[in-house]
Structure 1
Amino acid sequence: MKSWKIEASILALGFLLLGVFINCGLNNFSEKDRSVNVKGLAEMEVPADKVTWPLVYKSLGNDLNALYTDIKRSNQTILEFLKEKGIDENEISVNAPDIIDQKAERYSNNDSPFRYNVTSVITVTSNKVELVRKLISEQGELLKRGIAITGGDYRYNVSYEYTSLNKIKPGMIEEATKNAREAAEKFAKDSESKLGKIRHANQGQFSINDRDANTPYIKKVRVVTTVEYSLKD
């Protein structure tokens, strides 16, 4: 009768190896699914490096020709004031005047004795933020020259920008990623695991906002990165 001992031994060894391989595969599969998803924050306060300052004044009258002459003279006075204070000509733009004919306004209940209401705007756009801020506080000097700068119109607010994001972006991403890793390491330690490699990372969007309502010339730059790390025993 033929002996099956050798075949049985080989078969048993095969089943044993198969079990080992399956177990290793399951362990590897389990390790692959173990991960932690964390966020890292980086914030920085920076001074604005660009300012847009609209100087607005009103003119009233009944004679367009006289108004034109008056506006031309007023514009020249403002330009002289700005240049005297250190603003370059290429940083100044003179807008076309906005003329409202009170009598042409069909539904107007305005009882003003003046037919024409003209809004003139001269805009300063400059990187000399501190200088412009100083001039804004000194614009009352124009009263001595016969010009009253008006405010309160939401269309003509002073605005500040930060345009040098690319200079600080690499450092902020590095800081945010570092903060994310610290959070992931804490999680791994608490779960009695070890932190593995990065599986996926999302830089996130940068946001630039005023630090607060009182200091719009100071900007807060913010970025949140999302990083997924693998975990292992």
Structure 2
Amino acid sequence: MENKNFAIIIASACIGVCIVISSIIFAFSISSLSENQRTVQVKGLSEREVAANAVIWPIVYKDAGNDLTSLYGSIDSKNLIIKNFLIENGISESEISIAAPNVTDRSAEMYGPEKAAFRFYASAILTVSTDKVDLVRSLITKISSIGKNNISFSSDEYQNQIEYKYTKLNDIKNEMVEEATKNARATAQKFADDSESSLGKIKTASQGQFSINNRDNYTPYIKIVRVVSSIEYFIKD
């Protein structure tokens, strides 16, 4: 009987010791896990100022008349004058497209002006699409010289604004991603240094989309390319 009680006591003691040891190991494991899960989230920016390398230039003018056939003839003549001006100044014929004119019959408009000067009003457009950005910029100021041919240019239509583009993103994309990543790491390293910790490996990382915007409203031919990388690092004491 005494031997049986002694065995029970020994077994209970062993179980107790095992529980204590397991608790200690578990506590250390939780502590280690907690330390490994300390992180810092940072963002890194890369920005470039670049010149537009492509341009779309809509050249819009107005015309009017009372005879539709004569009006179309006038538009054809003016299109040819504008086209010749562009070609003579360095624009290739393949870079010029001519759209069908938009003609309005004022007599058919129910709510139009009662006494319009002309029955037919037309809006015509030629579009230059080229990589000769500097040339186009110079021609924008010169094209008014052919206004003496009774060509009334229109430049205030919102839907026909000149558009400058930057199409060489692939040439700088890798460098910008690398720079954004370095800037993010520098920020994380500063945080680690200030908190007397050491910077660990990357836990998660994501790259934002590239954006290309005008530098300002006055120089749309100069673009700002931006990308932001978001990175989460482990922090260790």
TM-score by length of 2: 0.90
**Structure 1 residue corresponding to 2:118, chosen from 110, 114, 117:** 114
Q: Quick one: distance in 2 between partners of 1:80 and 1:53?
A: 16
Shift of 1:24: 2.7
Matched, 1:171 2:140: no
Whole-angstrom CA distance in 2 between matches of 1:180 and 1:73: 60
Deviation at 1:112, TM superposition (A): 2.4
Contact residue 142 and residue 148 of structure 1 kept, 8 A: no
2:156 corresponds to: 152
Are 1:139 and 1:149, in contact at CA under 8 Å, matched by a contact in 2?
A: no
Aligned match of 2:186 in 177, 182, 187? 182
CA deviations over 1:153-203 (Å, ceiling 9, x no partner): 112111111111121111111111111111111111122211100000010
Contact 1:62 1:114 in 2 (8 A): yes
Number of the residue aligned with 1:206: 210
From 73, 77, 81, give the equivalent of 2:77: 73
Change in 2 beyond 3 A, CA 1:71/1:29: same
Report deviation, 1:14: 4.0
- Rounded to whole Å, the distance in 1 between the matches of 2:42 and 2:56 is 39
Distance in 2 separating the partners of 1:56 and 1:110: 26
Q: Which residue among 29, 43, 48 is the counterpart of 2:47?
A: 43
Q: Distance in 1 between matches of 2:51 and 2:133?
A: 9
SS at match of 1:167: helix
SS of alignment partner, residue 111 of structure 1: coil
Please show how residues 1-233 of structure 1 align to structure 2 within 5 Å: 14-15=18-19, 17-109=21-113, 111-233=115-237
Is the Cα–Cα contact under 8 Å of residues 62 and 115 in structure 1 kept in the other structure?
yes
- What's the offset of the Cα at 1:124? 0.3
3-state SS, counterpart of residue 138 of structure 1: helix
Structure 1: 5+ residue stretches without partners: none
Further displaced range: 63-72 or 2-11: 2-11
- Supply the RMSD in Å over aligned alpha carbons: 2.0
- Alignment-mate amino acid for residue 65 of structure 1: T
Give 1:143 deviation, angstroms.
2.0
For residues 20 and 171 of structure 2, what CA distance do their matches in structure 1 show? 60
Q: Deviations over 1:101-123 (max 9, x none)?
A: 11111101253221000111000
Q: TM (normalized to structure 1)?
A: 0.92
Q: How many residues align?
A: 233
What are the ranges of 5 or more consecutive residues in structure 2 without an aligned counterpart? Answer: none
